[in-house]
Amino acid sequence: MNRRNLLSLFMGSAVALAAAPALALDTKRATALINAVVGDINRVINSGKSEQAMYAEFEKIFDRYGDVPIIARSTLGPDARTASERQMAQFSDAFGSYLARKYGARFREFIGSKITVQDTRKIKSYYEVETVANLRGQPPFLVVFRVSDRSGQDRFFDIVIEGISLGKTERTEIGAMLDARRGDLDRLIKDLARAG
């Protein structure tokens, strides 16, 4: 168990939240979202379920709380501006599934761990919700969820663990994968759909 694995879990994990009414996002709603996220994660990692069952639960959590279209667009970077609507929709689907498969298998490593919400503060147009991860055999460390309602729903769009942004990490990896395919986004989409 290490911080890199937790970073991975949260990206795959995870990454949005049940829609709220037309009121603007505030500290209370941002905190409620992340309380729901960590509550679901804690429940699954300590449920005693099989790895396969935990993986299925992880996919549900990712779909429920992760702002996949925003994360996918940000991860793709400048190439998102030249992609067609069809390509972006396909990339978003393939990327979401890829993340769920990539990180879902690591749930087993977090059995017996606990994540708790500590504080929430506004940063420009979004909120940062600080949580503390308590893993067995390691000192606690900070995990920050970045929450926005930019997509029309309260969702988290990035997670920062000890200063390392999951969004930036995935952007680098996906960028390298796209470069290896000479910028062929359709090929990347197909490969992501098969990866895992």
- Residue range 168-192: average pLDDT? 95
Written as one string, the DSSP assignment of 32-95 is HHHHHHHHHHHHHHTS---HHHHHHHHHHHHHHHB-HHHHHHHHHTTHHHHS-HHHHHHHHHHH
Which of 10-14, 33-37, 133-137, 149-153 has the least mean pLDDT? 10-14
Q: How confident is the model at residue 9 (pLDDT cuts 50, 70, 90)?
A: low
Tokens of 17: 């939240």
pLDDT at 169 over 60: yes
pLDDT in tens, 54-107: 777 877 887 889 898 899 999 999 999 999 999 999 999 898 888 777 766 555
Which of 68-72, 89-93, 111-115, 126-130 has the least mean pLDDT? 111-115
Q: Percent of the chain, pLDDT > 70?
A: 84
Give the amino acid at 34. I
Phi and psi at residue 41, in whole multiples of 5°?
-65, -45
Sorted by where each begins, the domain ranges of the chain are 3-194
Please provide the average confidence, as pLDDT, over all residues in the chain: 83
pLDDT at 49 over 90: no
Q: In the beta sheet, which residues pair with residue 172?
A: none
For position 26, what pLDDT does the model report? 94
Tokens of 33: 């979202």
pLDDT in tens, 10-25: 555 544 333 334 468 9
- Which CATH number describes the domain made up of 3-194? 3.10.450.710
Helices (H) and strands (E) in the chain, counts: 8, 5
Q: How confident is the model at residue 134 (pLDDT cuts 50, 70, 90)?
A: confident
For position 17, what pLDDT does the model report? 37
pLDDT at 42 over 70: yes
- The whole-angstrom separation of Cα 108 and Cα 163 is 25
List b or e across 96-133, with b for residues whose CB sees 16 or more CB atoms inside 10 angstroms. Answer: bbbbbbbbbbbbebbeebbbebeebeeeeebbbbbbeb
Q: In the beta sheet, which residues pair with residue 156?
A: 66, 147
Beta-sheet strand order (sheet of 141-148): 114-123, 126-134, 141-148, 155-161, 164-165
